[in-house]
Amino acid sequence: MVKIEYRLCHQHRKGNTVNINLREIYDGFAGTYEENRGLFDMREVLNPFYECLNVEKGKLLDLGCGVGEPFARFFIDRGWKVIGVDFSEQMLKLASKYVPEMQTIQADMREIEFEPSQFEAITVIYSLFHVSSNDHAALFDKFYRWLHPKGKVLFTYATKEYTGSDEFDGYKEFMKQKLYYSHKSPDKLYADLENIGFNIESKDYRNIGNEIFLWVTVSKPMTG
């Protein structure tokens, strides 16, 4: 079992109603996710990210980890220690079944804190775009603090290819549910990342499961 010091920062947020709604929807999705385990091959993403890391083994923080597959499982199978954070109780129950080696924390990613330089890698897959884009820069700043120098973050970002707008803050249908999505334009996203101090290593549009998202890898400089 991984033991990492963390604390929850209980703050009143304007978007709490949105968060509760999303949590309930994803609790309901849990059974569907279980039925479709392994439906999409993510090796085209996982292998390049793993190969670009500067260590063979380390600690991974998986934000919006869901059931822990495939990302947490991929890293655990290679000797990594993984912490998974998700706000869905039902998703984390499945994670404890399929990836019992992962330490899980039920929380909103905006309301959790870790000590600096805790992780060699952070993944935020299909989850950041459910957080208001007004909060993205503050989250990127946290990621920067939590990473070791030379550590890397891989995240998915929604763009007009998915929402139809350069910038978006609203609802789209997914699996017959109205889900909240929020994003800035890619140029504003890149500016936020560079202002914090990240190096942008890759930015690729990928079509996985007939959904096009922007996949971004950033690194923390050795002097960061």
Please give the pLDDT value at position 32: 73
Q: How large is the average pLDDT for residues 144-172? A: 97
Amino acid at 84: G
Name which of 132, 163, 140, 162 is nearest 218 in CA terms: 140
Instruction: Indicate the average pLDDT of the chain.
Output: 89
| Position 19 confidence tier, pLDDT thresholds 50, 70, 90 | low
| Position 211 confidence tier, pLDDT thresholds 50, 70, 90 | very high
Please give the pLDDT value at position 1: 40
pTM confidence score: 0.90
Question: Residue 78 has what DSSP assignment?
Answer: T
pLDDT digits (tens, 9 = 90+) for 65-99: 999 999 999 999 999 999 999 999 999 999 999 99
Please give the pLDDT value at position 9: 58
Lowest mean pLDDT among 4-13, 95-104, 166-175: 4-13
Q: How large is the average pLDDT for residues 18-22? A: 67
Beta strands 81-86 and 103-106: pairing type? Answer: parallel
Please give the pLDDT value at position 209: 86
Let me know if 100 is exposed, middle or buried by CB neighbors in 10 A (0-12, 13-18, 19+). exposed
**Radius of gyration, CA atoms only, the chain:** 16
Task: Count CB-CB contacts under 10 A for residue 48.
Answer: 14
Alpha-carbon gap, residue 182 to 211, rounded angstroms:
16
119, 146 Cβ separation under 8 angstroms:
yes
Give 54 or 64, the one with higher predicted confidence.
64
Domains, the chain, in order of start with CATH, read: 13-35+42-219 (3.40.50.150)
Question: Residue 45 has what DSSP assignment?
Answer: H
